[in-house]
Amino acid sequence: MSANRFGHLFQITSFGESHGQALGAVIEGCPSGVTFDPAILKSALKRRRPGQHLVTSSRNESDDFEILSGVFNDKTLGTPIAVIVRNHDAKSSDYEKIKAEPRRGHADDVWKMKFDHVDHRGGGRSSGRETLARVIGGAFAQMFLSDVAPELIVHALPRQIGEIAIVDSDLCLSDSARFYINEGRWNDVATMMTKLREEGDSVGGIAELQIENAPGGLGQPVFHKLKSDLAGAMMSIGAVTGVELGGGFSLASKHGKEVHVTSDESVYGGIRGGISTGELISLKVAFKPTSSILDIAKRGRHDPCILFRALPVIEAMAHLVLADHILWRRLDRN
């Protein structure tokens, strides 16, 4: 057990403070012989960067990673894979102000209560920068999945940005097989974002995790149902305040005859008895509006809606859960 480890068999250990020397991850349990594909890692890191909006050009290069171990001649060795990203542009002067005044909506005070100190340099491990480690780990999980379940596709889609709902017809599939908000709808979003930025305000949002072509049989019957591990994974992301599978909260007021007889299988969200059925897995993830925007010190460097940056983090956590349960599946039968 560790506060900083995720996974049963395919595991990542996340380390690094947001304004320390470096952040990184150690990936354990990745079998030997997995094809290392740097493009997967670069792409995920780039999408996680601040200031990235969908269908807009990127302001920044991706974070530079260094692989310290576990990969040789473009194959995984079966040994721990250690990857780090150095912290460069930490403006610690900005954070000196925070030292004096704890930030509304942040974890500085609870952190102090817990560990008897605050790393005032930027939230330490509570910072969104920690998600770098998740994205790194998720990229290796994705490489493993590409080898053993090549049909499997994981998408995190925007479904709501503040008051703006995003329906299927608002989305288009890019060349890189990613869903984006199409131009017409994006104008609405961009207008709202600009206004929020000017006002120093933010909004929450809802993402939908879709897993296509997941093999059946993933998940364990009791405490590690696939829905349980996915929900725990999503709720471990900082700003997430809710998770629902398939019909979710709407099922509360439904009748059994309607759900189990009339409805199609999609009400189950692709998971029954805690185990994947082979159908589309669908999970909704709610985000609260970020509080960082409220800090004068940080305004301009933070996005008014973190949903876009969170999409690759959702995908990374899903890849990790799937890699874990696909490995676990090897132990099911004699």
Which residue in 126, 182, 210, 213 binds a second copy (CB under 8 A)?
A: 126
Site for a second copy in 306-325 (CB under 8 A): none
- Which structure tokens are listed for 185? 């709808």
Q: What is the largest CA-CA distance in the chain?
A: 61
107: contact with a second copy by CB under 8 A: yes
CA 88 – CA 63 distance, rounded (Å): 10
Compare residues 182 and 228 and give the one whose CB is closer to a second copy.
228
Which residue in 59, 115, 299, 300 binds a second copy (CB under 8 A)?
A: 115
50: contact with a second copy by CB under 8 A: no
SS3 71: strand
14: contact with a second copy by CB under 8 A: yes
In the complex, the smallest distance separating the C-beta of residue 91 from a second copy, rounded to whole angstroms, is 17
Q: Sign of the CA dihedral 237, 180, 136, 32?
A: positive
Site for a second copy in 228-287 (CB under 8 A): 228-236, 238, 240-249, 251-261, 267-269, 272-278, 284, 286-287
- Buried b vs exposed e over 265-275: b needs ≥16 C-beta within 10 Å? eebbbbbbebb
Residue 200 makes CB contacts below 8 A (sequence gap 6+) with 293, 294, 296, 299
Compare residues 6 and 186 and give the one whose CB is closer to a second copy.
6
Which residue in 38, 64, 91, 113 binds a second copy (CB under 8 A)?
A: 113
Binding part of the chain for a second copy, among 26-34, 51-59, 171-179, 180-188 by CB under 8 A, reads 26-34
SS3 218: coil
Which residue in 151, 163, 168, 198 binds a second copy (CB under 8 A)?
A: 163
Contact at 8 Å (CB) between 283 and 244? yes
